[in-house]
Amino acid sequence: MNPFAQAYNSDHTDNELIQQTLQGDRNAIDALLRKHQPYIYNVAWKMVQNPDDAADLTQEAMIKIVTNLGKFNFKSTFRTWAYRIVVNHFINEKKKRGNEAFYGGFEDMAHALDSIPNHDMSLAEQAASKELIREMNLSCMSGMLLCLNREQRLIYIIGEMLGGDHNIGSEIMNMSRDNFRAKLKKARKDLYSFMNKKCGLVNKDNPCRCHKKVKVAVDMKVIDAKNLLHNRKEFSAFKNEIAADADFMFEEIDRQYAELFQGMSFKPDFDKKSFINKVIEDANWQSKLNLN
């Protein structure tokens, strides 16, 4: 279940898994991490764009969660406690620079898009290249998120893409509800203003079209046609992974923009050995919790 949905409040299994973990049950910590890993990873992926950096951030954040699990006092929900750790790690992490791709924000991204020459495609060519066109679309939208600062990105991901309302969002971001709403509104305004000026998906008067950029993007190796980052058959979409009753905060006029971002790639499945085992085998927390 989407941990950013209101319905998650009725889920008590986290506390049971924590109690079992603190009693030395390795299977319980495995289940707890497996439950939250997809959401931590996909938030990380949208924060930094690069899947390998996202994997590193996910492992680092999960290790922080489990090494501090003994400090959890059950006075708040595990969701609030754990995702505050995740948020703080993602905001304060300084080593990886992939999440600062556009130092000049939207102005830099506009320049980058303008620097890619247009190459018209026939309808038949567009049909044959639909996977690459979708990759260009998703890559561009991922770049738009990177134009927001780290805090804005997290607020937008939580409030707009994952459907966390102002109560949940403010708890996780550790700010007032009014502040969360105001900052989400600002992030929306910045993104949507850029899209209205540049993106042909929302404003047909704009000259920028994904299919016109694909050939040159592939030639320039901006897109790797043999190793797509975003548009893979095994990926889902944010809108397919979030709860149907998520309390989205956008107005009807904003729905067109929000649904584009909710359609961005969501990685739902993981090889256990690539994430969970590496965290469980970390001696730092294993010794603290005395797990077998």
Max mean pLDDT range (235-244, 258-267, 272-281): 258-267
- DSSP track, 216-247: HHHHTTSS-TTS-SS--TT-EEHHHHS-TT--
Reported as a pLDDT band with limits 50, 70 and 90, residue 277 is confident
Determine the Cα–Cα distance for residues 68 and 66; give it in Å rounded to an integer: 5
Per DSSP, 178 falls in state H
Contact call for residues 69 and 21 (beta carbons, < 8 A): yes
Average pLDDT, integer, range 158-171: 91
Contacts of 204 (CB under 8 A, 6+ apart): none
Residue with tokens 């973990």: 21
pLDDT at 99 over 50: no
pLDDT at 101 over 60: no
Determine the Cα–Cα distance for residues 115 and 84; give it in Å rounded to an integer: 39
Determine the Cα–Cα distance for residues 263 and 261; give it in Å rounded to an integer: 5
| Relative orientation angle of helices 78-92 and 26-48, to the nearest 10 degrees | 40
**pTM, whole model, 2 decimals?**
0.89
Structure tokens at 101: 């791709």
CA atoms within 13 A on the CB side of 199: 21
Per DSSP, 159 falls in state I
For the stretch 249-269, pLDDT in tens is: 555 556 677 888 999 999 998
Residue with tokens 């079992």: 20
pLDDT at 140 over 70: yes
For the stretch 24-76, pLDDT in tens is: 888 898 889 989 999 999 999 999 988 889 999 999 999 999 888 988 988 88
Domain ranges of the chain: 6-289
Output the pLDDT for position 111: 87
Per DSSP, 54 falls in state H
Please give the C-alpha separations between residue 32 and each of 37, 66, 78, 268, 285, in angstroms, as whole numbers.
9, 10, 10, 16, 15
Interior angle at CA 74, CA 69 and CA 76, nearest 5: 105
